[in-house]
Structure 1
Amino acid sequence: MGNMGNFLFLAAEAVHSEMAEGAAEGGFGLNLDILETNLINLVILIGILFYFGRNVLTNILNERRSTIESAIQDAESRLSEAKSSLTTAEEQLKQAQQEAQRIVNSAQEKAEAAKTAILAQAEVDVQKLQATAAADLNAERDRAIAQLKQQVVALALKKAESRLGEGISDDAQQTLIERSIAQLGA
């Protein structure tokens, strides 16, 4: 690009000097003197620019084209990689969602099983508590009955002793002996 810039600068400078000379002479006009206007120099300069500049410009444009093409190819390859990565990520997301749903379902099943087991154990515990309470109540009742029997026996013995102390009539003694014999014989 450096050579091309130099050529363009020289061409612009030559045109500028031509215009300045025409304006200095009193106005705008055409100077047809070929040597004075440097028309030959300009034609040579434009020819050189065209001859050498064409190759430089062609090379620059070719380089630019290849750079753009490689950038496009690179962008297309990155796009295809991104699409592939997106597809993979979507598949992984779908699998993760399925796994999460499976875990939730499994947790719900385990929670339901645990709930059932806890309720069954609570039922067994309640039945054990009821049985224990009934056994305790029966034992307490039996103890109270035994205590009452002891008290009744003690009172009966006291009453019997007091009656014995008063004496038993002969008829009552005879009746008591006969009953005792009858019970022993039976």
Structure 2
Amino acid sequence: MFTLVSDRQGFGINTNILETNVLNLGVVVAILVFFGKDILRDSLQTRKAAILKNMQDSFEKKQQAFDNLNNALVQFESSKIKANEIRSQGIILAKQNSEKILQNMQERLKRLEETKNFSIRFEEEKAIMEVVRYVI
């Protein structure tokens, strides 16, 4: 880099490496900022758009999960109601069946009693007939 070495000597080459590196670095940074700001801005906008899209997707998935949860809760409540109805119908049906069985058993007992009484009367008449034959 050409710099002013002193007032008497004019322009010349500055051999101080520290000053030259700082000036060169400044020039390189200025060129990078001038040409690289558009690339950096585009990259940041692309990244921002991707982040916003991911956030929107996650919000939609969260909303869908809440909707699925609400649907599952509604179905669960409906299932509980149906289960209670089935249980109550089962209890009613069991009571009706037990009443029918009791009625059938009572009818059978009644028929058995009638059969027993008929058999006893038949045997009595048979015995009476035998006694009458024996007496005759």
Shorter-chain TM-score: what band?
0.7 to 0.9
- The reply to whether residue 139 of structure 1 matches residue 103 of structure 2 is no
Alignment of 1:16-165 (within 5 A): 33=16, 37-153=20-136
RMSD of aligned Cα (Å): 2.0
Farther off after superposition, 32-41 or 115-124: 32-41
Q: Which stretches of structure 1, 4 residues or longer, exceed 6 Å deviation after superposition?
A: none
Distance 1:50 1:151 in 2: 145
TM-score under structure 2 length normalisation:
0.83
Task: Give the length in aligned residue pairs.
Answer: 123
Deviation at 1:61, TM superposition (A): 1.5
Deviation at 1:39, TM superposition (A): 4.2
Distance 2:72 2:20 in 1: 73
Distance 2:107 2:18 in 1: 126
Deviation at 1:65, TM superposition (A): 1.1
- Equivalent pairs: percent with the same residue? 27
Distance 1:68 1:35 in 2: 43
Task: Using CA pairs under 8 Å that are at least 6 residues apart, name the structure with larger relative contact order, 1 or 2.
Answer: 1
**AA aligned opposite 2:110:** Q
**AA aligned opposite 1:96:** S
Distance 2:22 2:103 in 1: 115
Deviation at 1:152, TM superposition (A): 1.3
TM-score under structure 1 length normalisation:
0.61
Distance 1:84 1:138 in 2: 80
**Greater Cα radius of gyration, structure 1 or 2:** 1
**AA aligned opposite 1:93:** F
Deviation at 1:147, TM superposition (A): 0.3
Where structure 2 has 5 or more consecutive residues not aligned to the other structure, the ranges are 1-13
**AA aligned opposite 1:75:** S
Deviation at 1:84, TM superposition (A): 0.8
Q: Name the one with the larger strand percent.
A: 2
Q: Name the one with the larger helix percent.
A: 1
Where structure 1 has 5 or more consecutive residues not aligned to the other structure, the ranges are 1-30, 154-186
Q: Residues 33-74 of structure 1: CA distance to partner in whole angstroms, max 9, x if unpaired?
A: 479824443222111111122222222211111111110111
